[in-house]
Structure 1
């Protein structure tokens, strides 16, 4: 029967296990000879096989060849085959240096150079070639170096931390005690083994005779994790918070609150975790799970941890690190190392006899961070900020170097992150600080959930302003599909996109620019706006632009349309338009249907047909993301922003738009695109142009949805039978507004459509009226074939493939997918991919 090795955790303050990895390993293998030691999705190995292969490698490593006793670098492939090399190096008396295969070459070279390590394979090749057979090295003692563990390098170059045999075992035993490791446990190691917590979880299992199941999320992904848990009866998992969030996003099917597998403990490492992260995972089918927030550093092992049993109340915001454990004193000190009272924020330092020996080859850094007190006890200054709260729990406040003064107030990026995570729809966030005009400004890198329409930076900033002071509000929001992470699962700051910052003070010229900047500041929630700033690049969207237009009317008693705003979206250009309109109210550039989004460029123009209920500002972000060297025009429904009867069929809209584009480009070849409902119009335009003898070079369709009825009509006309597995997906023209018609408002909406174009309704109503007109037009429309080359850009829920589209596009047909909901295909952050596809199509045409 399998037994867990006696851990000997009954110890006094600062006591350390006086044991080597080899001596513990021999005790385990004598008890667990035939049990399975390690399992990966690719292979497995028993304790007996592991012992046999390890001993063979140990003999080679203990024979002193030309490399002497230099550290050994082991490439850690995500297979059980890597484990004998790890264990053999730890036992041999030569320090282990773990090399992740996914490391960039420069990072790998830095680690090899700093550590002076020799690749394991080089040692084995030399032994085979030369037959060195010198005297064996002495077996190591518990205080000898077992490993040089390199930090992630998120706050600088990776540092090689020297860990003794006793510390490696203590790290593993602390974890085993915290999770109450049991003989029948199956450890799910969801971390790369090269990650500090990953190697600790592996050593914990091996040194206690418990099977470790390794799942590398970079190789194995996340989609099959629930099945893997059940198949292998996993009882404890160890992962990064970012993996936990991705795991929680999976569809758990029909699982109820406590039905998935045998899992009893989930431990998270490496970065701040939020109570909502645990709550979402708990609702994924893990109501019986205990969650453990584990705070550790490479230099100290565990600093503190916090346990949340099943059904316990979870904290709001960042989960406290918890309490210090036996063998570790955690203190909060000021810049001079003087302890601070509970409640005050300072640097976290750890006092223990169970700390690293220092930094390999760097005595100056070691002396700066480590202080030896005698009797084997040392102090380590972590570089992290924190406080002890009223419950006696440690709370992190980010890195010492991260805290920054903004407008004279100390701001901690971690606190700003916590507040941003409270905004509905935010999946992940990282906050940084940049210098803009010689003063610090906050940048928020935000990942939004894909199930709902993304919030703009302006919307998030306004929501934050309801409970945060002005100096804590991010000036820049960068929306991203995912945060870049390094091989340890931590945010890779070097891979974050840079933001454009000013190096000179903002300038404004004239009263109109001054007044407009104040309007923008109130709507966008930021100050110091420059005359060259673009409204949409500052985080504004079509909804926010309607507020600007309304405030301009209230302040200047003049009317500016959204189409005119789209064509003049900087303070300077909008002020010039306002000044002209104040002098001559009739001074109007007609943007009823054709809206210039970009006038510069030497190539043929790109004409984009907008959605049925969308103002032209909907496409402003897309136009600014395009890099193609050509003018860009948006075409919106007639009567949308000025008096004029709307076209009530797709064919009529196509005829009107052809008339408009010929004013700009009298003859082909034409480049057309259409978003949502506009895709139908663009395809019809291509057909009408071809019938009149004009050439259409390419049509790009942006997430246009083909209904089941339309697909059936096309199939019937072609005499084919559609695959019945095709799911019904009705067209969903974008409104870009968070208003949805209800049964109670349908009748009123129908009446309003009768007067559309004659009466101008409030913006949200106007958009919905034209959306309704577009829906009516689609129900009557009979799609025709298009011989022009077509590229179909599909959003996340658009399932129409070649079987349907080939009935429409009879020429060249290509597909590209953007993993976003319908509205977000033309919004940040996904619009960057949409724009890149259109750039490629246009440049190739």
Structure 2
């Protein structure tokens, strides 16, 4: 042990220089504890955390907190505790001085003499910093120790300590709260008659051992569950539960020893509910007040008490006989923020109790959000380790049954076929088949060699400018050859790419580039004319760098480490700020190997890129085909029924990767595509009716694969192939089983594992788990917690359950988050953007199901301080948010309705259709026009709006239509009202429709298309 600070261990009391400012009497039970050997009557509270604590700052904080909690500075003078005026010492040790796994350190076994000092603080720095607050049990109980520790951390955070200056002791507290005629009769001293569940121990104990077990979740009736399980395993007996007397006087703030024992007689077969009921009855009857020590003990000198304690301990050891089976103590729930400081974030709190003479084993429980810490204190000896672990196994099973924790679907360990990065794998593909077609589309065919040459040109320029590992490079481009070349160019220099959606407003793009700290942004024409690249970022001409002309610039690729970042993708943020998800190469390569095998991707695969590069599922369409030697089909136009029809019939594609909404749109096309091998559906819940329709359309040999996965788990992490025979009885398609080296855990609101078949929140762990959110440590702690076994997980906010088939079924969201076109949207981010408008004081955004539809649309409600139109508010949002985040309607309301709990009453918000002036209709003359009427009927069916509410100025978007439903409406108009020639002319007017999506405008364009084509759909 390398002790960096010395201390006086003589135990000699030098006494205060003047009358102490704080003193109190020694209570009877405190005197009894003083009669126990000091080194065996010390309680320890341990705080583990990430980050460091500077010894000098901790020393100062201990001094200030102890001034406010003088119980931490007490020494014994006669039969009184007096304030020494001297702060407890802070002792700093090296990391090797504390074996965290075995909870073993000589510093934890050092005595605290009753004459002083009676408290101290130990600091064990290291990868995981541990702070230990220690106190003689005669002067403090666990609750008092926690009060003092909390105040130390308050001072470290720059706050004033709460303080605990009451002079009350346990005897006085009992006298104050119990009138003589109301006090329970004194209890008889318990006789020693119960064997220890840990078996016999040496008569001469070599000292205590401590063992720790961490269990996921916080548990109702945890103390009763522990006692019931121990009685079932070791036989009936008495269990001793320490009770905090402060419950009788909540106003009292004292660190004193204010705990009394409640004795529970428990039989084998007593369920935890029965034990809980008996414990609550005992507390209601205040039985713990009758268990105090006989006052005559105060007349017994401490040396005599100590001799008696030693004899009692020898007899207990010789006959393995104790006054109870075990002490079971529960400190309650500790908020980790209360024991954290600016540079130190607590991750766990637990207590180490005593192995007191003549006492049974002590079990201590401490709960923190999401976990329960269990420690066991007992005497060391032969076989004690194994017996202690067996006892903790019993407790763990009682709180968290193995059946709930274990699931065969999580047996996913699988060695990767190679450790090479995606950069190396792509280079090998180029070398193996340089003349194979890598990309096809509007720009023609591009071979692997040509794509690689263009990527090298981009890499050369980035390398010349100093880009490398740790550099974030923006990529503002469409679904083009240059975009794919730019992506590989960034990866080849070891940098990380940030894909940007060209349809997002400039303000949004500027915000993302700034937040990511991008030094460079590769910009494709014509987007170089936009004002979106901040001054801190250099704009580079992607077309010129990745152009066809120019010499080869091939050079050695950067060395890629598994923990290097591959890309950052931003998702919507609940705080009003987008979150940058950091995906490492190790995450990406695991996904590539699993998905390639799971989806049947090979060198014959031709997969279109349908989604924006800023949508992480586009990685499936880019990485899987190119790393398997296949082909990526670039689709320049955004998906609509016309472009999708051409894709399906003319592109030669044989696989698709798309959202359920797009698959639903395809399902309504009058097509029978051939040659398709797999349809990968991801981003939203896949309904059985959509999957069944797709299966009929693409044929029985085409696999319809439902993939699930948030951005934080690298594109997709579970999958299920739709099977009509087994899946048709449900409404939604299962999401299947986890990917290789990936795990899914289902936990309830208290973070307990749920039983098979019960609904729980999905927590994802394993090789595809993202590094976390860029620059958001607070959010990382919240969304990426650590399970009890040390597994780092991502809390998805998605509900699921385990089916009888052993697969997962997605149920839905548990929070306000909603999926729009496969994108996760936090309504709070939209509300924040709306509140940035000077006329808006307060905004609320909600997701509602459109009448007659299965999906949800976003609606905004605003309280304003000035006259403002809905169009102005919408324009404000359009300039700041992606199109999929702009509400279908923005309603100005005079007030917001609230529930009795003070939350906005979503159900009481007005119907946006009733409020929106666009929906105020009457019988317009245009209904006499058959074409106008036909279009109106299609609108009514698509939007779920009564036909009577649609006049010529009805606005599709204002009526709740989003981009997918707009495409469905246009497809229905084309199918029902136009012939093929007219359809092309009609869809050529899509920009005009998007600018003015009114019923009158659409009907006029249909008529115009008919006239130009000279045909009408029969």
Using the size of structure 2 for normalisation, the TM-score is 0.41
Name which structure has the greater RCO, CA cutoff 8 Å, separation 6+.
2
Using the size of structure 1 for normalisation, the TM-score is 0.49
Q: Which has the larger radius of gyration?
A: 2
